[in-house]
Structures are given as C-alpha cells and as structure tokens.
Structure 1
Amino acid sequence: MTEHLTTARATADTNVAAAVQEADEAAALAAALEERVRNGDNTVTPAQIANARELGNFAQLRADATRRQAEAAKRDARLADLAQLKADIDAYQADNGDQAAALLDTVYDALNTYVDHVQAHTRRITAWRQRMTDLDVPAHKGPSTPPAEHGRLARQADGSIIAGDTVHRTVNPWPALDTILTAARHHADGRTHSLRTAQEKTTDAKKSVKAMAPRPQVTPGLVHYRGTGGAILTYDPDKAPTPDDIRRLKLTPITDTEAYA
C-alpha cells in the first residue's frame, strides 16, 4: 500500500467520522427536547422539536453523502495505485532466462575449476604416497621429522605425507561446496542474522580447503622433559616449569629427537 492510498483512506475515514458525529449530536438534540416535554417542560415548543428533527435528518443526509464521497475517494486512490503498479510492471525489462542461464554457466565453470584444482592437489599427494609405499617408506606416528634412513619421508594414517619437517594433506572438495550452498541460501534470506550466518559459513568453507596448505610437522621452540616415570612432558617456553619445579619434580630436560622418538 502506497503513502498516497494510506493518506486518502485516513482522510476519508476522518471526514466520515466527523459527519457521523454531527448527525449523532443533532439526533441527540431532538431526543433531548422530546424527553424534556415528557418530563413536563412547557417551554419546549413544537417548532423547536420540528427544527431539531429536521436538523438531525439533514445531518444524517450529510453523513451519508460524506460516506459515499469517502468510498469514492478510496476507490479512486486504489485505482490510481493499481495503475502505477501496472506501469511499473510494464516498464520492467524482464530477464527472459538468458542472463540467468549465463550466470549458471559461470557458476558451473567456477565449480569445475575449484574441484579440478583441489582434486589435482589430492591426486599429486596420493601419487607421492603410493611411491613411498612402493619404496617401503613406513607410516609415521610421532610429531617429529622422519628418520634419514627413509629419506626424511613418511606416510600418515589420515592420507597425508611428510617430507622433512613439512606435512602435505589431501582435501575433499565436496564439504566446502555444500557449506557454500548453505551460505547462499542464508544470503538469499536477507535478514541480518542470516547474512551473518552466510559470512560464517563462507569462512568455514574457505578454512576447510585451506587445510591443503603445507604445515610444519614439528612445532619449533617447545621444551621437553622426562619425568621420573618416563613420561614425556612438553611445554611452550613461557609455560615451562621453573628451575625450582624441575628440581622438585625431578624432571630431566631432553631434546626434540628424544621427545619424539
């Protein structure tokens, strides 16, 4: 509903209410005069009652006329808004589907490019892993650099490989695509919380595929100790035991190699 129609309806309703009130007051005046006569008031004349009734009838006629005018004004305002709406629709240059189809082609090409990129990475990692298997490179569990006897190479149970101090991982392309599709649905909703969710989903999708980036196998700078029972304790330097703690707990400092052996 446009402001024009809203204003027209409000104005018409106000005029009708005023006319009805005027008719009601005129009718009440005639009724009051008649009631005074019934109560024995001899000052009320027949002419006064006749005039009051005539005034009430006239006020009712005016109220009826105002009501009809209001209905006509509302009808005219609505027709004007409908005409404007039709003009807006007629002026719209609708997409006959070609632009939407072209956008789908763009999306499809982008999806294929993304999937090809991720799968090419995974095929490369898988091929290197198979070459390691063929060369009897064993699996490696500890967070340390693989031994020199295996060329500083290793396989891990999750499908990743280790080369020196670097881990290379495969990535499944489909979960991120599912997440992006969910993000698009939230974006289409348009509400503030939905747009926020769409951004969060987009961030999650990108984070999942960024896992394909090489990462260090060993976190540098950690300090390690062996407890009296043989347990290995590893700390960030700023959280490492104090000299007093080391003596009290009888901890023995050890190297990375010893810690990850």
Structure 2
Amino acid sequence: MRVHILIFCFVAVLIKQRVDGLEVCDVLQVIDSVEWNLVKLVKSVNATLSKYRNCKCDEDAVLQNEWKLAFRGTSGTRQSVYYAYKDGLGIPSSIESGCKQVGKPLACSSHYRNDLILDNWNGISEVALALYKNDVRVHHVIFDAAGSTYMNWLDKARVKSSSWSDLPTSVANIFSIAGHQDASLRRTFFLNKSYGACPNDSGWFVAIDNENGGCSWEKNAALPFFKYATGSTALNWNDGNIGRADYFAVLVKYYNTP
C-alpha cells in the first residue's frame, strides 16, 4: 500500500511538471503516456515484491527482518525467566532499549516481554527460539505455530527446522516451556533428549531458574542461566563443550508478513 501511495504522488508531480503551459489535447497525451508507464511500473514493483515474499532467504536475514520479538530472556537477572515469560513477573516497568532487540551490543539487565504479542496470540504462523552469545546467534529452532498458544508452541511435534541437525528427528523425553519443575528442579524452556541419572543427561537447551538443582550440571550462583549444546547435535549436560548463552529470544512471524 505504501509503495502504491508513493507511486501516485510521484505521478502527480510528474504530470504537473509536464502539463504546465500545455493545451488540453497535449495534456491528455501526457496523461496517456504517464498512465502507460505507470502500469509498467506497478507490474514491476508487484513482481519484485512477490519475489521477495516467496524467496527462501538465509535464516540470518529471516530472523532479523521478518520476525517480531515476543520475549527476550537475559541471564543473571536474578528473576525467573519462566514466570517473566508466562506472567511478566519481575519485569520492571521501564525497560532498557537493549532488551527489546537482539544481535546488538547494547546494555540489558532484565527480561523483556512483549505483552501485545504474548497476550494476544493469534495470526502467528511460526515461532523461532534463538540463542545468543556475544550478540551472535549461535543456535535456533523454528516451530509451526498454527493452532498453538503462547505456552504450547514449544513442542517437539511442531519443529520445522533447527541448527541442531539431529533435533528434528531425535526422540526427546522433555520438550516444552514448562520443562521439568518440582520442589528442587527449575528446568524451563527445556529441550532435553534423555535422562541418565545426572551423569548421562543430555539435550540441546535449558533455561535453569534456580541455583541448587538436583544435578551438578545445573548448579550455579547466577540465575537464570542458559545452557546449550554448542555443536550440531545434542550433548551430555556435563560435557565440556556445553555453552552458556547470554540471552535467548522468542520471535514470531505472522501470516501474510509483508
């Protein structure tokens, strides 16, 4: 729509420049000429827009340009990331601008919840869970959001693609936002492959919301903290190649995104 308005304004100016001082018949010829060229211009613009709407762009561009930030969980805030996402608990009324974006080296000391999106969950076609280290996206999973809610889109059956090559086809024992929570455990946004009595637990990503969980791999003094498999497949949570993300983001794409 904005493109068409700009074209209309351009044509109006062009006609005025050309008709000043001309007779009526000459004006009509100018209008016919402009109309013919306008038709060609509109067709060209529509073809270009169609090409970009249908292109299979690289996922870096997709996550930056076609998605809206619904939530950002930041490590070390001392506030539950699960309840910040679920209810907005612990999120201050004034949020630093750095918390409202991803991939930029800006200060952020809290979680960010986009209430407009999470409390009005409709018209969403896809959801992306993206992990960031030093403001660089290190891993992601994209989910089919059709018929979902803001609490159940993170489901193994909804996975469309992932930077972890084994995730789409692997069996997982826990795969949800609520994750595994009880009196001593707060494993949320939990993408877990299997349990093996602590020493052999393995998975892809977990947001840990407490300091003293049941296993040594989830004990830490700076909650919440986000652990992830740095390679292309799931890892044992005790492995030395398990990484720590600085923050993670939940991004959404709406149907008919321009």
Q: If the TM-score is normalised by the length of the shorter chain, which range does it land in?
A: under 0.3
* Structure ranking higher on relative contact order (CA contacts 8 Å, 6+ apart): 2
Higher strand content, 1 or 2:
2
Say which one has the larger Rg: 1
Task: Provide the TM-score with structure 2 as the length reference.
Answer: 0.24
Task: Provide the TM-score with structure 1 as the length reference.
Answer: 0.23
Higher helix content, 1 or 2:
1
